[in-house]
């Protein structure tokens, strides 16, 4: 039995364009982000999708709602485990802000950021649950760049380092015979 999961990064926001770290900050899609989600939804229309899951954060929920509407799926299931990695004190800042405030070595400081281990643990717990509950189904997960990169690094250690995820990129995974396969990675052909 094959279970298909497509992981999607949310559309663009004003903070993406300003280079501000979003983390748990609840930033809406900008106009371009709404259009990106619409184009991805239209791209996916000819395919079979059973369920849509989304992070609880607004930018992901908006992206998921637009895609679900295009696919004729009535319900988007929200789950906090799909939320972005918490940025602590660096949320809302740019790289320049961080260097100015905390110095070049700011990444070594305890600024209240969620650990990679915590992000991966909640992501894998979510994946295990949906694989058990929805074996054989085709599911879309709408989440966030850092979360997706960390989850993929855990599922596909050979992929390291995982590059930055593009807004509304789609990464398709198959789970067959207790083994993961990546059939499409970070694809934004719907925007080209």
Tell whether omega for the bond before 114 is within 30 degrees of 0, i.e. cis. no
| Residue-wise pLDDT tens digits, 21-60 | 999 999 999 999 999 999 999 999 999 999 999 999 999 9
Q: Which two tokens stand for residue 111?
A: 């600024």
pLDDT band at residue 1 using 50, 70 and 90 as cut-offs: confident
DSSP 72: T
Task: Note down the domain range covering 43.
Answer: 2-191
DSSP 56: S
For helices 58-71 and 31-44, give the axis angle rounded to 10 degrees: 40
The answer to whether 165 and 148 have CB atoms below 8 angstroms apart is yes
- With a CB cutoff of 8 Å and minimum separation 6, the contacts of 136 are 1, 2, 3
Question: What CATH number does residue 14 fall under?
Answer: 3.40.50.1240
Which residue blocks in the chain are alpha helix, DSSP H? 14-18, 31-44, 58-71, 95-102, 116-133, 145-155
Q: How far apart are CA 180 and CA 164, in angstroms?
A: 21
Q: Which residues are catalytic?
A: 10, 84
Binding-site sequence positions for substrate: 9-16, 59
| Residue-wise pLDDT tens digits, 83-121 | 999 999 999 999 999 999 999 999 999 999 999 999 999
How many domains does the chain fold into?
Answer: 1
Binding-site sequence positions: 9-16, 59
The model's pTM: 0.96
């Amino acid at each position: 039995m094959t279970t298909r999961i497509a992981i999607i990064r949310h559309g663009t926001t004003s903070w993406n364009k300003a280079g501000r770290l979003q983390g748990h900050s609840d930033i809406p899609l900008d106009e371009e982000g709404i259009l990106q989600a619409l184009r991805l939804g239209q791209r996916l229309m000819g395919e079979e999708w059973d369920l849509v899951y989304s992070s609880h954060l607004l930018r992901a929920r908006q992206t998921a709602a637009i895609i679900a509407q295009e696919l004729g799926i009535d319900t988007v299931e929200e789950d906090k485990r799909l939320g972005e990695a918490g940025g602590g004190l660096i949320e809302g800042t740019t790289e320049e802000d961080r260097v100015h405030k905390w110095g070049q070595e700011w990444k070594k400081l305890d600024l209240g950021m969620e650990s990679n281990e915590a992000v991966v643990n909640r992501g894998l717990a979510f994946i295990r649950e949906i694989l058990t509950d929805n074996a054989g189904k085709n599911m879309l997960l709408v989440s966030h760049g850092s979360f997706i990169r960390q989850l993929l690094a855990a599922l596909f250690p050979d992929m390291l380092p995982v590059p930055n995820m593009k807004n509304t990129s789609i990464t398709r995974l198959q789970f067959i015979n207790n083994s993961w396969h990546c059939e499409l990675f970070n694809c934004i052909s719907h925007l080209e």
